[in-house]
Amino acid sequence: MKQGIHPEYRTVVFRDASADFTFLTRSTVQTDRTIEWEDGNTYPLVELDVSSASHPFFTGKQRIVDTGGRVQRFENRRARRQR
């Protein structure tokens, strides 16, 4: 294996704020944020929009994630067409 060309493989905390779910795993993802974990150590933190705790496939619940008012614009277009 060549030295110096591979990213650092380290322990990282991933947090899904919408589901209040965090988990500790290993990854090569780069981040500037850190968090103190339950064991007292500080680890890099990656914020997630969707995880297994909030994804409809795993939870069985439908949830709309509205980014930039797309849902509202769609509903407005649909209402205009139904008139």
Q: Are strands 21-27 and 10-16 parallel, antiparallel or unpaired?
A: antiparallel
Q: Is the pTM of this model over 0.85?
A: no
* Structural domain for 67, as ranges: 10-82
What pLDDT does residue 53 have? Answer: 67
CB 13 within 8 A of CB 35: yes
Give pLDDT tens digits for 21-79: 889 999 999 999 999 999 999 999 998 877 766 655 555 566 666 666 777 888 888 88
Confirm whether 5 is domain-assigned: no
Confirm whether 32 is domain-assigned: yes
Counted domains in the chain:
1
What pLDDT does residue 10 have? Answer: 92
Show Cβ contacts of residue 51 under 8 Å, excluding neighbours closer than 6 positions: 14, 16, 19, 21, 23
